[in-house]
Amino acid sequence: MNPSISRRQFLRSAGGITFLALAPTGRGLFAAAAPLKPMAIPVFTALPYIQPGPEAKLVPGAEIARLAWQTEGREASFDVQFGRDTSYSQTAQIQRTSRDYSGKGDKGSRFNYVCAFAGLNLGTEYRYRVRCNGATLAEGYFTTRQPRGRKIRFAAFGDNSFGDPSERAIAYQAYRANPDFIQNTGDNVYDAGLDSEYTRHFFPVYNADHASPSSGAPLLRSIPFYTVLANHDVESFLPNTKTPCANFELYADALAYYTNFHFPLNGVPTPTYPTLTHGPEKRLADFKACAGARFPTMANYSYDAGDAHFLCLDSNNYTDATDPALQQWVAADLKGSDARWKFVSFHHGAFNVGVHHRYEQQMRVLAPIFEEHGVNFVLSGHEHNYQRTVPIRFTPKDTAKAHKLHTKDRIVTGDFKLDLAFDGEKQTQASGVIYITTGAGGKYLYDPEYNADPSKWVVPEDNNLAYTAKMISDRHSLTVFDVEHDEVLLRQIDEQGNEIDRIRVTPALRRFAAQV
């Protein structure tokens, strides 16, 4: 155990499961220990993991959380109980769907299980127990979302799971931060968002049985992991085109985003620009049966926690952020929230100065909506490094290229107002939206030579405006936010645990209004 973690903290986070009768057998698989062999317990392809409930709003006494797990496709009888203590006074209803995950060298089918813990209080710890064929396999606990007025802490990072050592180190640092939840900024799993890739690279790292920089950490068993759809979730093309799609002809286990996660279904019910699919009808039908109402609605969603509201958007290059239906939904969602602080997350950074993706600016057309409805931070990835802008107010001028679907040339010009007085230390009232790129979650780094050279932190497409206040590209890192009623503290933490950036933000209603 790291000496900087108190025993209480260690037990709280690592204790998400206090008993586990399953042992790793390699490649992300877990089997019952020898004494349980006669019980014919199936191999687990994902240990139990906590998922958000369907409710976006915080309603005392009506909170719902979920527990999901996955096994090989072999019949078994599960039952799950939960309650405030180990008497486990309530029984959860379990749903089961199945997925074929043939592809990329894997073959077979699996069962995806999920159950709901309903009627919960906010900010309260609950315990759960998972049994199979009468044998107890796991006992754990989780804490429900904090109500308004209570402090929350969350960790954000993206571009992470591909089996790299830094992915595990960042997972470990996220665990050390003891967050209430993770908000991922996309490209959560490489290369193609497949179920089999989740089994190898995601679940074993963020739901590792032990915490260490070389193994990851037991996060998922006790806290929710939110993410957004990104390019590596949809990394194939319609035949003979450059139109991105999820190709079920190549991979039966494509689009695992829609089958592994259970986010609120409050997004645009039928997006104008949904995730495109291609492949044999039977495979598509099997996928849709498993995903249910989640596909395609769950491409966008929102939720609350403590004094914050979070809006998660699909920014892939098959979408068009100038779409009036999307813009109306975004505006209505933000306007409808009474949260003190508002965060938006999508993958393709709207304002970034990196070499690889700075032309994919389509999401900046939403900047006026974010400003009008009091968004404080926008969190993105795509660039594999850390970038923080000064507070920005932006009025788009030429949005013609924002419509250029399926391309990487989506430059949007416009007028900038930069709050150069904000320093996050003495001047903490931000007049504008702070855009954070936090894509240094594990995959190899971009632009390491930019790290010590602020003269490179400008791009000609934006008239070399100095809107980037900080860029750290020589190491992997994650962002930790503490959100209280009157302050948000941002800390950037590297994979060694060092703090490499820090700003405080306080409410800026008066200052903002004075400049309108």
Smallest distance, Å, CB 337 to Fe ion?
A: 27
C-alpha 281/C-alpha 285 separation (Å) is 6
C-alpha 101/C-alpha 113 separation (Å) is 15
C-alpha 326/C-alpha 332 separation (Å) is 10
Smallest distance, Å, CB 157 to Fe ion?
A: 13
The residue type at 151: K
Ramachandran class of 263: left when φ > 0, alpha when ψ lies in -120 to 50, beta otherwise: beta
CB-nearer residue toward Fe ion: 408 or 456: 408
Smallest distance, Å, CB 218 to Fe ion?
A: 27
- Does 443 bind Fe ion (CB under 5 A)? Our answer is no
C-alpha 82/C-alpha 120 separation (Å) is 10
DSSP one-letter string for 400-459: GGGG-TT-S-B--EEEEEE-TT--SSS--B-SSBEEEEE--SSSPPS-GGGTT-GGGS--
CB-nearer residue toward Fe ion: 167 or 371: 167
Which of 223-231, 233-241, 300-308, 400-408 is the region at the interface with Fe ion (rule: CB under 5 A)?
Answer: 223-231
CB-nearer residue toward Fe ion: 187 or 333: 187
CB-nearer residue toward Fe ion: 111 or 225: 225
- Does 437 bind Fe ion (CB under 5 A)? Our answer is no
Is the distance from CB of 57 to CB of 304 less than 8 angstroms?
A: yes
Find residue 426's DSSP bridge partners: none
Phi, psi of 208 (to 5 degrees): -60, 150
CB-nearer residue toward Fe ion: 232 or 373: 232
Smallest distance, Å, CB 158 to Fe ion?
A: 8
Smallest distance, Å, CB 314 to Fe ion?
A: 13
Which of 235-243, 374-382, 409-417, 442-450 is the region at the interface with Fe ion (rule: CB under 5 A)?
Answer: 374-382
CB-nearer residue toward Fe ion: 71 or 231: 231
Instruction: Quote the Cα angle for 466-321-369, to 5°.
Output: 65
CB-nearer residue toward Fe ion: 262 or 384: 384
All residues at 6 or more sequence positions from 246 whose CB lies less than 8 Å from its CB, including other chains? 193, 233, 234, 236, 254, 255, 275, 276, 277, 278
C-alpha 458/C-alpha 339 separation (Å) is 33
Is the distance from CB of 71 to CB of 113 less than 8 angstroms?
A: yes
The token duo for 371 is 């400003």
CB-nearer residue toward Fe ion: 187 or 323: 187
Smallest distance, Å, CB 185 to Fe ion?
A: 9
> Sign of the CA dihedral 103, 105, 109, 115?
negative
Smallest distance, Å, CB 159 to Fe ion?
A: 6
Number of residues forming the site for Fe ion (CB under 5 A): 3
CB-nearer residue toward Fe ion: 187 or 197: 187
Restricting to residues 260-319, which ones interact with Fe ion according to CB under 5 A?
A: none
Smallest distance, Å, CB 439 to Fe ion?
A: 7
C-alpha 167/C-alpha 179 separation (Å) is 17
Restricting to residues 97-126, which ones interact with Fe ion according to CB under 5 A?
A: none
Helices H / strands E in the chain, number of each: 10, 31
Among 195, 263, 294, 192, smallest CA distance to 233 is for 192
Contact letters (x/-) for Fe ion, 324-363, by CB under 5 A?
----------------------------------------
Q: Is 135 exposed, middle or buried (0-12, 13-18, 19+ CB in 10 A)?
A: middle
- Does 231 bind Fe ion (CB under 5 A)? Our answer is yes
C-alpha 440/C-alpha 474 separation (Å) is 9
CB-nearer residue toward Fe ion: 186 or 391: 186
Phi, psi of 318 (to 5 degrees): -90, -5
- The binder of Fe ion chosen from 187, 307, 360, 501 (CB under 5 A): 187
CB-nearer residue toward Fe ion: 223 or 378: 378
Smallest distance, Å, CB 254 to Fe ion?
A: 17
CB-nearer residue toward Fe ion: 81 or 231: 231
Restricting to residues 377-416, which ones interact with Fe ion according to CB under 5 A?
A: 382
Give SS3 for 303: strand
Cα 369 from chain centroid (whole Å): 22
Smallest distance, Å, CB 446 to Fe ion?
A: 10
Smallest distance, Å, CB 231 to Fe ion?
A: 5
Smallest distance, Å, CB 230 to Fe ion?
A: 5
Restricting to residues 6-35, which ones interact with Fe ion according to CB under 5 A?
A: none
Smallest distance, Å, CB 476 to Fe ion?
A: 15
CB-nearer residue toward Fe ion: 242 or 485: 242
Which of 162-170, 224-232, 386-394, 490-498 is the region at the interface with Fe ion (rule: CB under 5 A)?
Answer: 224-232
Which of 179-187, 197-205, 216-224, 418-426 is the region at the interface with Fe ion (rule: CB under 5 A)?
Answer: 179-187
Q: Where on the chain is the footprint of Fe ion (CB under 5 A)?
A: 187, 231, 382
